Structures are given as C-alpha cells and as structure tokens.
C-alpha cells in the first residue's frame, strides 16, 4: 500500500470521526422534562411542574395545566418562560450520550471497514513475459 494512499484513508477516517460527532449530538436529543419533576423560580413568580402528559404552569398565582404537545402555543407558558432570564431557563432538550456513542462507534467501524478492507489498493494486471 502506498504511503499517500494510507494518508488519504486516515484523513478520510479522521474527518468522518470528527465531523460525525457534532452531527450526532445535535440530532440525537431527547426532551428534558422526563429528567426532573419541576422547577420553581420564586423570585420571578414562576413554577413549572412536569406531569406525565402535561405541564402545570403557575405564574403569580395563576395556574394552568398545559398538554406537552401545546407548550409552544400556550400563552401562560410563554409568559412564564419570558419572565425567566435566559441564563436561568431550563433546557428543553438534552443529549442522549449512550445513543450518540453507539451510533458514532458503529459509523466509525463501518467507515474503517470500507476504507481499509473494501477499498483495496490498485493492483496492476500482470501479463507475463513480454516478447518483442
């Protein structure tokens, strides 16, 4: 195997390994409301309690139970989130690292197999002795 060909394969493999990690971490996310039961911000008058199918939102004594599917369009939820400063807001999604690592390892194994097992160096055809 030629030195240039090995360098090319290693560069392709490293590129796939490095570029696939941010791609997988951005796509393999899950909602965070399953990770905790609620958040209270008494200084802003906001309380968010996650239930199985809805979120109980309390803003300065007003309380409403909003289904999880309608969180984006709920006025009271939008008001509650707008009262909380950006730095203190709860994250809506989190990275599912087990899934990311499994997919990343499988992708790298497939890349390695294709580059170093399937893509073989060019072997010139040998015709035998030449007669002039």
Write the burial class of residue 48 (CB in 10 Å: 0-12 exposed, 13-18 middle, 19+ buried): buried
Q: Is a pLDDT exceeding 80 seen at residue 98?
A: yes
pLDDT averaged over every residue in the chain: 84
66-74, long-range: CB < 8 A, 24+ apart? 68/33
Q: Of residues 88 and 132, which shows the higher confidence score?
A: 88
pLDDT, tens digit (0-9, with 9 covering 90-100), for 50-60 = 888 888 999 99
Closest by CA to 71, choosing from 90, 87, 88, 99, is 90
Q: Is a pLDDT exceeding 90 seen at residue 106?
A: yes
**Domain residue ranges of the chain, discontinuous segments joined by +:** 1-28+96-125, 33-90
Q: Of residues 17 and 125, which shows the higher confidence score?
A: 17
Write the burial class of residue 57 (CB in 10 Å: 0-12 exposed, 13-18 middle, 19+ buried): buried
| Six token digits for residue 107 | 């992708």
- 121, 1 Cβ separation under 8 angstroms: yes
> What predicted TM-score, i.e. pTM, was given to this entire model?
0.56
Q: Is a pLDDT exceeding 90 seen at residue 16?
A: yes
- 74, 57 Cβ separation under 8 angstroms: yes
- Token match 């609620």: residue? 38
CA 93/CA 90 separation, integer angstroms: 9
Q: Is a pLDDT exceeding 90 seen at residue 15?
A: yes
């Amino acid at each position: 195997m030629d030195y240039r060909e090995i360098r090319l394969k290693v560069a392709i493999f490293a590129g796939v390994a490095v570029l696939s990690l941010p791609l997988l971490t951005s796509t393999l996310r899950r909602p965070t409301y399953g990770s905790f039961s609620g958040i209270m911000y008494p200084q802003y008058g906001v309380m968010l309690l996650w239930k199985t199918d809805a979120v109980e939102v309390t803003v300065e004594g007003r309380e409403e139970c909003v289904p999880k599917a309608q969180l984006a369009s709920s006025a009271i939820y939008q008001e509650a989130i707008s009262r909380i400063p950006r730095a203190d807001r709860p994250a809506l999604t989190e990275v599912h690292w087990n899934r990311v690592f499994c997919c990343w390892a499988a992708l790298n194994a497939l890349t390695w197999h294709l580059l170093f097992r399937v893509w073989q160096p060019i072997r010139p055809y040998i015709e035998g002795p030449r007669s002039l």
